[in-house]
Amino acid sequence: MNTTLTIEINKTNASKLTQTDFEDLKFGQTISDHMFVADYENGEWGDFRIEPYAPLQLNPANATLHYGQSVFEGMKAYKNEAGETLVFRADANQKRLNESAKRMCIPEVPEHIFMDGLLQLLEIDKDWIPNKPGCSLYIRPFVFATDDYLGIRPSEKYKFMIFTCPVGNYYSKPVSVKVECQYTRATEGGTGFAKAAGNYAGSLYPALQAQKQGYDQLLWTDGKSHQHIEESGTMNVMFMVNDTLITAPTSTGTILKGITRDSVLTLAKEMGVKVEERFLRVTELEDALRSGTLAEAFGTGTAATIAHIAKIHINGNDYELPQKDETAFSNKVLAMLDGIKYGKIEDKHNWIIKV
Ligand code: COI
């Protein structure tokens, strides 16, 4: 590890490590011992520190609480057989954080601050990385406004923080999804591409209605016509229709530029799979479900990894998808991705950073 940022380090003397059950990790419930913090004031980032994970003190007039100026990222670290720490595509997450930040009028986090803060935090909390197939250390970098001011304008002060959680699967079983044609997640010119807190807040009510009807998640459609599939609430989505892998393009600015999405598309092309980045029409999806030409559907995301979709609800009808068998593309690509992440398969794309 070669880091140059001067970070003040204050380690906990009350580690929670020994009280943590690594055999039963639920997503996002267990937080590791430390967090990285940086403050933005007078136009620059400073006061870099790693300190024990602890609650923050916020003024009730904090701008984020009222106007939601907040963006975040999700990425993962793994252990290889030699016990070394491997981080997957952190450079891509750093770039995406700044694309989100720019849209939300939040100052960008320079690469060296993001990477050095991350790598030093991972070094300190490396014992929190699970050593078990399917498990990893989920990393949550985020930036939010810290001005105490009720007027509408971009905040002048911000915090950039990173904390981590040992996690197992986000979805422990195949998911059922409902195609959403009433509510809108994102429209062109909006903030859909950004990993902004408010995008998730706005999706909760429609998703809850679907959950009350027994579905795990929504399949969002475009905000204008509701005729094209965009993404799910927790992941991008892909469909194998006959032998073609179809996923929505990110060019409309309404879809999160998933890093797992990009990785899967890269590997699919290398595997010789025909890939189409285009909108799948709802009617086309329905036809493929009816005729049996939809071979598989799955979500892709850092938290979700590759999540098999078992059921799709469209316009009042439930369609069951084929059981996922070992030859399914999603299984093969998951095995390949895991192989790279855990250091078992050659990392031809320089996706892995060894800490
Ligand atoms: C991620 O995949 O990292 C996300 O932020 C999605 C969320 C469901 C945890």
Residues with CB under 6 A from ligand 1: 74, 234, 301-304
113-128: pLDDT as tens digits: 999 999 999 999 999 9
d(CA 291, ligand 1 centre) in Å:
33
Closest ligand 1 atom to 234 CA: 8
24-65: pLDDT as tens digits: 898 999 999 999 999 999 999 999 999 999 999 999 999 999
Closest ligand 1 atom to 138 CA: 3
191-244: pLDDT as tens digits: 999 999 999 999 999 999 999 999 999 999 999 999 999 999 999 999 999 999
What pLDDT shows up at residue 1? 63
pLDDT greater than 80 at residue 248: yes
C-alpha distances in Å from residue 202, one per residue of 58, 196, 255: 23, 11, 15
Q: Ligand 1: which residue has its CA nearest to atom 3?
A: 74
Q: Select from 70, 142, 170, 255 the residue to mutate for testing ligand 1; criterion: most ligand atoms less than 8 Å from CB.
A: 170
Q: What does the alpha-carbon distance between residue 63 and residue 69 come to, in Å, rounded to a whole number?
A: 7
pLDDT greater than 90 at residue 132: no
d(CA 140, ligand 1 centre) in Å:
9
Q: Is the ipTM of this complex over 0.85?
A: yes
Q: Ligand 1: which residue has its CA nearest to atom 9?
A: 303
Band (2; pLDDT cuts 50, 70, 90)? low
Mean pLDDT of the chain: 96
294-318: pLDDT as tens digits: 999 999 999 999 999 999 999 999 9
d(CA 42, ligand 1 centre) in Å:
32
Q: Which two tokens stand for residue 225?
A: 């016509």
Q: Which residue(s) pair with 299 in the sheet?
A: 237, 307
pLDDT greater than 80 at residue 254: yes
Task: Please give the biggest Cα pair distance in the chain.
Answer: 61
CB contact burial 159-190 (16+ within 10 A = b; e otherwise): bbbbbbbbbbbbbeebbbbbbbbebbbbeeeb
d(CA 301, ligand 1 centre) in Å:
7
d(CA 287, ligand 1 centre) in Å:
30
Closest ligand 1 atom to 74 CA: 3
What pLDDT shows up at residue 216? 97
59-99: pLDDT as tens digits: 999 999 999 999 999 999 999 999 999 999 999 999 999 99
Band (4; pLDDT cuts 50, 70, 90)? confident
